[in-house]
């Protein structure tokens, strides 16, 4: 034994005095939490979360102090080794404890040294994540407890015979969430402020306290990256507050892929409107004006630490830049050159507004970026994290993921969708943990394991997938999706665990997969688009008295089109080619057959889940109702709605007006059930949760269906009089 080991052994013996185990709260004492004065705010906030959790569980209050001398007989000590004074301090109380952590990224070690429990991190996020790992494992606090309505179990004591946790560096260096399509979050609570945005959604800012709960859940899940909202205008104080709430948690903050240097088209319009100018948003037609806005916003964003800057060039909302300016070059090659020039200029601006600083850069190859990159038409600045996208939702990577050679001067990551309005899930989860694992495992194997950003929309609907993704991006090695799901169910339900786990498996297998493209094609957003399109076609045929044309005469394929978009132009372009996989084509007869099969799958889920819920304790049953039963029920109703609409359309083409009317009435009845079901989902603290449901709006779908049904009934009445 060398001198260092001997010193550590002696200090351990003296500190523990023969005692073993650690008592955070016991009958006779409450441990003190020691957070040195120099520790970053994120560590102090994590310590406050520990104190809050302990109060919730035991009713007892943990004292928080800054000096070890002020601690009691038992203490929990938080130490970040990237601070020289903290590292030296750790050596005095536990020599060698942090040796394995030095120089690592977000690694931690949790262990007992006498009557002390030491949580040491290689850096401040490592310390924070070590504490949250301890809270999850030993206190039993769900990282997503707020969004899952799942408070920890109350206990009188928190004491353990042995506490030990270690973690090396995470698999993905950067991993986190994109709060996108957040229509529910923006209007659930009273507004956090107004947004000046010419868009049907997001007119209100997510309240600061809601973003605080999002950021807390993010770090409890051991994620370190967030895009806090769609189209953030950091010049608007209520929107800047979202960035502030994330930054104080010590995480990396980034920007939507339509916001290079933090500038969306809406921010650009606001900037020039305030200066009395109404300009087209175009780097092609107004390069100096666009550059001025980029520089102003980059300077504002640069005041925050840990920014991952988005590079790129896109248009209004989530559309290509050439749709914002018809003068933009029309060839893919010219467009690729323009985007490449813009990215180079953005790097130059960063070096001007924050000279002498290194910058974390990323570019997201979403939509047309994916196609242009696959054609090798983009020149991406050296050092940029190149982020490949899935096909929406997270089912498979787009083609450029496989065709792009990994260059040593860049690193690579992925953009994964748990949710996406228009062509994917919005009110109900779709990708299973196993499907997510397959995608992310492939990302690591194919050299794209530096960065993983997950679109989580409004969070509440996707807590299962979010938790699974957080676990696998932290440690991909040895992750077993089936074992994880079984454990997740076991942790949340006290009885009928096998039946509940099987119900989840049936749910994830219920989604119909397109025979050719091998992706889901009847998710809630897709069904809404298909149903609305068919209702429009029915209304048009009735107005034009085109009844009984025959199904054989109309062999058009149904195609869900992204909201706000027109049909693809002949031949398409980079944008339309990129989203083709998001909207698989299907004939009407096939849609009717497959939607009936999907509906039957959800009915089977409901049979198993409702049987299990009947014998669960109420808090467990409530979670099962929210996370599985409700989602299965509304998807069953959407399936019934779409099935009846397409049957009505088919009957109309066969000249069967009466049958078409009956089917439309059935469709209206099916969709009308969703707002009734939602009353149970939007209860208690979640009252008004659907107040902002403007993207997939069941009430609007019902009204539209009822209007076309009334038009059909009028046609039936007129026909009967002939």
Closest CA to 488 of 509, 510, 506, 463: 463
Which strand (E) or helix (H) includes residue 485? Answer: helix 481-492
**Under a CB-based contact definition with an 8 Å cutoff, are residues 512 and 595 in contact?**
yes
Contacts of 360 (CB under 8 A, 6+ apart): 252, 306, 307, 308, 309, 385
Bridge-based pairing of strands 411-417 and 451-455 is: parallel
Closest CA to 537 of 640, 643, 653: 653
**Under a CB-based contact definition with an 8 Å cutoff, are residues 88 and 48 in contact?**
no
Q: Tens digits of per-residue pLDDT, 648-700?
A: 999 999 999 999 999 999 999 999 999 999 999 999 999 999 999 999 999 99
Residue 437 three-state SS = helix
Contacts of 396 (CB under 8 A, 6+ apart): 390, 439, 518, 519
pLDDT of 577: 66
**Under a CB-based contact definition with an 8 Å cutoff, are residues 191 and 205 in contact?**
yes
Of the chain, the end-to-end C-alpha distance in Å amounts to 105
Successive 10-residue mean pLDDT values, the chain, 722 residues: 40 43 93 93 98 98 92 92 92 94 97 95 98 98 98 96 96 98 95 91 95 98 98 97 98 97 97 96 97 98 97 93 92 96 98 95 93 94 97 89 95 96 91 97 98 98 98 96 98 97 98 93 94 96 90 46 41 64 83 97 98 97 98 98 97 95 98 97 96 93 97 88 60
The DSSP line for 45-109 is HHHHHHHHHHHHHHS----EES-GGG--SSEEEEEETTSHHHHHHHHHHSTTTTGGGTT-SS-EE
Q: Distance (Å, rounded) from C-alpha 106 to C-alpha 130? A: 9
Q: Distance (Å, rounded) from C-alpha 216 to C-alpha 218? A: 5
pLDDT of 549: 79
pTM: 0.93
Q: φ, ψ for residue 221 (rounded to 5)? A: -85, 5
Residue 24 three-state SS = strand
Q: How many distinct helices (H) and strands (E) make up the chain?
A: 23, 16
Q: Tens digits of per-residue pLDDT, 286-300?
A: 999 999 999 999 999
Q: Distance (Å, rounded) from C-alpha 305 to C-alpha 250? A: 8
pLDDT of 492: 97
Q: Distance (Å, rounded) from C-alpha 268 to C-alpha 233? A: 9
Q: Which segments within 555-665 are labelled E, that is strand?
A: none
Q: Distance (Å, rounded) from C-alpha 474 to C-alpha 108? A: 12
- Which residue shows structure tokens 């040593």? 408
Q: Tens digits of per-residue pLDDT, 168-182?
A: 999 999 999 999 999
pLDDT of 304: 97
pLDDT of 135: 98
Closest CA to 429 of 689, 226, 635, 603: 635
For the chain, domains (ranges, CATH) are: 3-167 (3.30.379.10), 175-457 (3.20.20.520), 524-721 (no CATH)
pLDDT of 718: 85
């Amino acid at each position: 034994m060398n001198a260092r080991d001997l010193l550590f052994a002696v200090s351990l013996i003296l500190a523990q005095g023969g005692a073993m185990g650690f008592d955070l709260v016991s009958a006779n004492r409450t441990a003190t939490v020691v957070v040195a004065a120099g520790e970053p705010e994120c560590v102090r906030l994590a310590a406050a979360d520990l104190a809050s959790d302990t109060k919730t569980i035991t009713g007892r209050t943990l004292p928080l102090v800054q000096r070890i001398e002020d601690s009691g007989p038992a203490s929990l000590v938080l130490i970040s080794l990237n601070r020289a004074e903290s590292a030296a301090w750790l050596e005095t109380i536990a020599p060698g404890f942090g040796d394995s952590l030095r120089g690592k990224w977000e690694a931690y070690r949790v262990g007992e040294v006498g009557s002390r429990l030491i949580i040491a991190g290689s850096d401040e996020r490592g310390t924070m994540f070590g504490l949250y790992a301890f809270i999850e494992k030993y206190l039993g606090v769900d990282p997503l407890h707020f969004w899952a309505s799942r408070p920890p179990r109350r206990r009188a004591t928190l004491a353990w015979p042995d506490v030990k946790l270690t973690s090396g560096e995470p698999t993905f260096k950067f991993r986190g969430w994109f709060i996108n399509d957040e229509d529910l979050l923006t209007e659930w609570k009273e507004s956090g402020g107004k947004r000046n945005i010419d868009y049907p959604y997001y007119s209100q800012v997510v309240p600061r306290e809601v973003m605080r709960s999002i950021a807390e859940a993010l770090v409890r899940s051991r994620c370190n990256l967030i895009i806090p909202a769609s189209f953030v205008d950091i010049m608007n104080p209520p929107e800047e507050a979202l960035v502030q709430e994330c930054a104080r948690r010590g995480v990396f903050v980034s920007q939507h892929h339509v916001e290079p240097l933090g500038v969306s088209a809406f921010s650009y319009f606001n900037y020039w409107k305030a200066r009395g100018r109404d300009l087209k948003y175009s780097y092609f037609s107004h390069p100096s004006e666009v550059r001025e806005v980029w520089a102003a916003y980059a300077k504002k964003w640069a005041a925050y630490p840990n920014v991952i800057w988005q590079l790129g060039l896109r248009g209004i909302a989530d559309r290509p830049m050439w749709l914002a300016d018809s003068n933009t070059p029309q060839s893919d090659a010219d467009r690729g050159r323009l985007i490449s020039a813009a990215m180079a200029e953005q790097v130059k601006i960063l070096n001007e507004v924050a000279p002498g600083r290194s910058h974390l850069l990323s570019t997201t190859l979403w939509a047309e970026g994916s196609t242009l990159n696959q054609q090798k038409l983009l020149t991406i600045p050296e050092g940029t994290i190149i982020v490949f996208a899935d096909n929406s939702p997270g089912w498979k990577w787009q083609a450029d993921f496989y065709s792009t050679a990994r260059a040593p001067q860049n690193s690579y990551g992925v953009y994964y969708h748990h949710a996406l309005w228009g062509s994917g899930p919005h009110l109900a989860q779709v990708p299973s943990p196993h499907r997510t694992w397959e995608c992310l495992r492939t990302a690591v194997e194919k050299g794209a394991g530096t960065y993983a950003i997950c679109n989580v929309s409004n969070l509440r609907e996707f807590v299962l997938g979010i938790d699974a993704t957080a676990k696998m991006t932290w440690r991909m090695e040895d992750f077993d999706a089936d074992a994880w799901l079984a454990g997740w169910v076991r942790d949340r339900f006290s009885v009928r665990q096998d039946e509940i786990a099987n119900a989840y498996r049936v749910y994830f297998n219920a989604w119909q997969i397109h025979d050719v493209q091998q992706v889901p094609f009847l998710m809630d957003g897709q069904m809404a688009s298909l149903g609305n399109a068919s209702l429009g076609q029915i209304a048009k045929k009735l107005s034009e008295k085109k009844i009984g044309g025959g199904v054989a005469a109309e062999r058009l394929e149904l195609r869900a089109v992204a909201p706000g978009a027109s049909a693809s132009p002949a031949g398409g372009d980079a944008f339309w080619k990129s989203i083709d996989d998001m909207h698989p084509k299907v004939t009407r007869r096939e849609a009717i057959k497959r939607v009936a099969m999907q509906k039957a799958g959800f009915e089977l889920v409901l049979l198993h889940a409702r049987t299990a819920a009947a014998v669960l304790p109420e808090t467990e049953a409530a979670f099962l109702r929210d996370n599985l039963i409700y989602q299965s029920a509304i998807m069953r109703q959407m399936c019934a709605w779409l099935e009846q609409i397409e049957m009505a359309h088919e009957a109309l083409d066969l000249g069967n007006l009466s049958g078409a009317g009956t089917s439309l009435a059935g469709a209206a009845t099916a969709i009308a059930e969703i707002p009734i079901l939602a009353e149970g989902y939007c209860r208690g603290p979640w009252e008004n949760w659907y107040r902002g449901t403007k993207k997939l709006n069941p009430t609007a779908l019902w009204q539209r269906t009822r209007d076309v049904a009334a038009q059909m009934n009028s046609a039936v009445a007129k026909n009967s009089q002939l």
